[in-house]
Amino acid sequence: MLTGLHVVFIGGDARQLEVIQKFYEMDATITLVGFDQLENKFAGVKKERLSEQLLSTADVILLPPIGTDDKGNINSVFSGEDLQLSEKYFKSLAKHCSIYTGIAKPYLKEMCRKHQIKFVELLARDDVAIFNSIPTAEGAVMLAIKNTDITIHSSNCIVLGMGRTGITLARVLQGLGANVQVGVRRGEQFARSFEMNLKPFYSKDLVNHVSEVDLLFNTIPSMIITAEVIANMPNRTVIIDLASKPGGTDFRFAEKRGVKAMLAPGLPGIVAPKTAGQIIANCVSEIVMEDYQIWRNAK
Ligand code: NAP
């Protein structure tokens, strides 16, 4: 239980409600900032405005999956007001206070470094990324269905990158009966893909493998689907780029060539906000629990 721990939630979307619910069940003392338009179903949970006084009493701060932007702004779908975590707020934090966020952009990293605040990037953890790959793969399939007039079954699919997202997506497509090729860069990924009955090739040779592709999914966060690659594809190909912005596709050339290409960020929060929220809730509550035991024993 987290009795006596003051957790301040700043902003978020439907996913954060699952995290609030989890901390509520664990008896933390909760304050919500940027949730003024949320109907409060949590008895005893306070809603407040962002202030130095409030943050000075926080043991834990929970930010949404995207954290802040590069100026410290935090998105909250439940708030009519802007939320900006400016430097004065970092100054007001107690030394033991930790910040938990999905990802930390350079602004948040720099503020935490400067003010010696511990921060945890949940989406960088293998466990969270692997759990998250499930709604991501389902979202990619949804986009594939919406943007084609053929079945995924018997279609020619390529998945680029055999990391946490790529493996799940390749397996899901294979389960739907697609012919799945995977673009990898390491020998062990090649061997694993072969073992999984996927058809591996080295991603540096991508240009030689796209002449019959119907659906091309990318999880590699650097330019890989170049103009040369796009020029070798049939016009019917649909490119679904899952990699973080700006993706790995030459979108300008795809448009010029008449190949449908889309960057598809944030799929877990779009297709399964409840599951995506539960994934974060389970992980962050475990980490906070461990940190809390250490902190309580040290007091
Ligand atoms: P990951 O586990 O690190 O997988 C990335 C894969 O790309 C790895 O196989 C990696 O190979 C490969 N790779 C990286 N740079 C490469 C390069 N220059 N050339 C060839 N291969 C390269 O990451 P992930 O968790 O699967 O996430 C993949 C991307 O999807 C990230 O950008 C992430 O932010 C994004 N994402 C998007 C969504 C969404 O909703 N759209 C959801 C989750 C994640 P090595 O193993 O050799 O490094």
Average pLDDT value for the chain: 94
Domains, the chain, with CATH or none: 6-124+273-298 (3.40.50.720), 129-265 (3.40.50.720)
Write down the pTM of the prediction. 0.90
Alpha-carbon distance values, 155 to 145, 149, 177 (Å): 11, 11, 8
Q: Are 248 and 230 in contact (CB under 8 A)?
A: no
As a whole number of Å, the end-to-end CA separation of the chain is 17
Q: For the CA atoms of 166, 263, 69, 59, what is the dihedral angle to 10 degrees?
A: -30
Instruction: Using the predicted structure, report yes or no on whether residue 297 has a pLDDT greater than 90.
Output: no
- C-alpha angle 272-38-11 in degrees, rounded to nearest 5: 70
51 vs 80: which has the higher pLDDT: 51
Separation of 125 CA from ligand 1 center, angstroms?
13
**Percentage of the chain lying above the pLDDT 70 cut:** 99
Separation of 162 CA from ligand 1 center, angstroms?
8
Q: Which atom of ligand 1 is nearest to the CA of 203?
A: 20
Separation of 93 CA from ligand 1 center, angstroms?
34
- C-alpha angle 277-220-232 in degrees, rounded to nearest 5: 130
Task: Output phi, psi for 109, to 5 deg.
Answer: -60, -45
Q: Which atom of ligand 1 is nearest to the CA of 242?
A: 41
Q: Is residue 246 lining ligand 1, measured as CB closer than 6 Å?
A: no
Tell me which DSSP letter residue 259 carries.
-
CB atoms near residue 36 (< 10 Å) = 15
Instruction: Using the predicted structure, report yes or no on whether residue 97 has a pLDDT greater than 70.
Output: yes
The model's pLDDT over 221-243, given as tens digits with 9 standing for 90+, comes to 999 999 999 999 999 999 999 99
User: Would you place residue 151 in the very low, low, confident or very high pLDDT band (cuts 50, 70, 90)?
Assistant: very high
Q: Is residue 265 lining ligand 1, measured as CB closer than 6 Å?
A: yes
Separation of 69 CA from ligand 1 center, angstroms?
21
Separation of 161 CA from ligand 1 center, angstroms?
6
The model's pLDDT over 248-296, given as tens digits with 9 standing for 90+, comes to 999 999 999 999 999 999 999 999 999 999 999 999 999 998 887 776 6
Instruction: Using the predicted structure, report yes or no on whether residue 115 has a pLDDT greater than 90.
Output: yes
Give pLDDT, residue 299. Answer: 67
Q: Is residue 244 lining ligand 1, measured as CB closer than 6 Å?
A: yes
